[in-house]
Amino acid sequence: MLGCVCGCFLLLPRLLHAGGPWFVDEKGSGVPYTWAGGTIIWYADAGGLGAFSGAEIIDQVKKAFDVWMNAGLHLPGMVKVNTVQVSAVLGGILKEKLTPENLMKHLNKTLIIYDEDGSILTGEGVNPQDVAAVTFLGAKMDPTTLHHLAGVTVLNGLFLQDVDPANPGGSKYARFLATLVHEFGHLFNLDHSALNWENINEIVSDIGAFGKALPTMYPVIVEGGGQETLHVDDVVAISTLYPRADFTSKFCAFAGVLVGSDSLGFQGAHVVARPVKDPMTFAISAVSGNALPQGAADGSYIVRGILPGEKYTLSYGKINPAFVMESSLQPYGDEEGETPRSGFENAPITAGNGKATTVLCNAPGETVMMDTIQLEIPSGGTFQAKNPLVSASTPMAPPATATGGSPGGDPETKAGAKKTFGCTFVLP
């Protein structure tokens, strides 16, 4: 993949990206991290949270995992096809309530933490007034097998203070459920989705009309946004990481390459496929080069989950410049002071040497190749793959986002860990 410009379609079978993996092979193989067998074994904190009993929280956590396990896409005629192979298993309930002081000794397990007073979030440098939940991933992973071994989701009790378990129809309750589903997307190694960010004001001001325009993995959970259920974009993202055979055999893909003015692959552009019939609700997004580390000079993308026989338009553009740090999308923006790529304008992606502005696939399983598009700015790519022998024995560099002093003093959550809390709220 190194220096991949226009000839990289030979490598297509290895291109697992599109739909956003969070952690990818740092050595540049193009393979994202996953959980072995698609299975997360998780442990529940002791006690309850807010007005919820322990049993009620566990029930909600299971329901949120179920949303991902049951994900599927609809073929024309509304036939639902299960496209995902993931599972989550409750390994047990901890005997002691997790605190900043005792957290470290439990971090070999995947934990759902009930942070009643926000002290664990505070200890990790997160303001509990800003967020409903945070997921930490990347501290326990195996660079040889590319498997995650453990992760942590912290549920913020302060957010839940006025959520009533007896009122599951309440809007804050729905946002709590949406937050759980969003965080477990991260636990499965999904990145954020920036789909429809250009229309966010329109969507929020008329949420009834655009209620299904925002993916669950959008960095913001919106009042009334229905993000407790998955958008097509979310289903494609999880199916791309953990596909059932039907996902690749019954749906199509659009693939192509963006290059900079220096003719090197342009990484970090937002690519969106929109069905002509319903361009908002059934759109699917990808980020060019997001299967490789930053600077890889890889401008390839592949948008999967495309309906056979359905007309789409494709375009590329910027990612919201506000999506930085914990709200970022790989591979640009999660380091202090770093922003998504900018300096270029949104534009259509054509097919057939500029002839076609709409595209469709005729045969299930087909991958339609789009034109290679050159942007007006340089790619910025300089990536050199690391020597695998060196990197296998070298810890990953701790990113700036995870260096806050923790009362738990846990060096293992810090080294290589990334966190996300992209779950601030748009209030009515």
Point out which residues bind Zn ion (CB under 5 A).
Answer: 420, 422
CB of residue 22 to Zn ion, shortest distance in Å: 9
CB of residue 191 to Zn ion, shortest distance in Å: 9
235 and 251 Cβ atoms separated by less than 8 Å: no
Of 225 and 275, nearer to Zn ion (C-beta) is 225
Of 138 and 422, nearer to Zn ion (C-beta) is 422
Token output for 271: 């690519």
Pairing state of beta strands 147-156 and 347-349? unpaired
Token output for 349: 């992606």
Residue nearest to Zn ion (CB): 422
b/e per residue 10-25 (b: at least 16 CB within 10 A): eeeeebbbbbbbbbbb
Of 330 and 420, nearer to Zn ion (C-beta) is 420
> Which amino acid makes up residue 366?
E
- My answer on whether omega of the bond before 331 falls inside 30° of 0, hence cis, is yes
110 and 151 Cβ atoms separated by less than 8 Å: yes
Pairing state of beta strands 252-259 and 373-374? parallel
Of 186 and 414, nearer to Zn ion (C-beta) is 186
**Alpha carbons 107 and 409: distance in angstroms, whole number:** 12
Neighbouring-strand partners of residue 252: 306
Q: Which of 301, 320, 304 is nearest to 373 (CA)?
A: 301
Of 341 and 418, nearer to Zn ion (C-beta) is 418
Of 116 and 334, nearer to Zn ion (C-beta) is 334
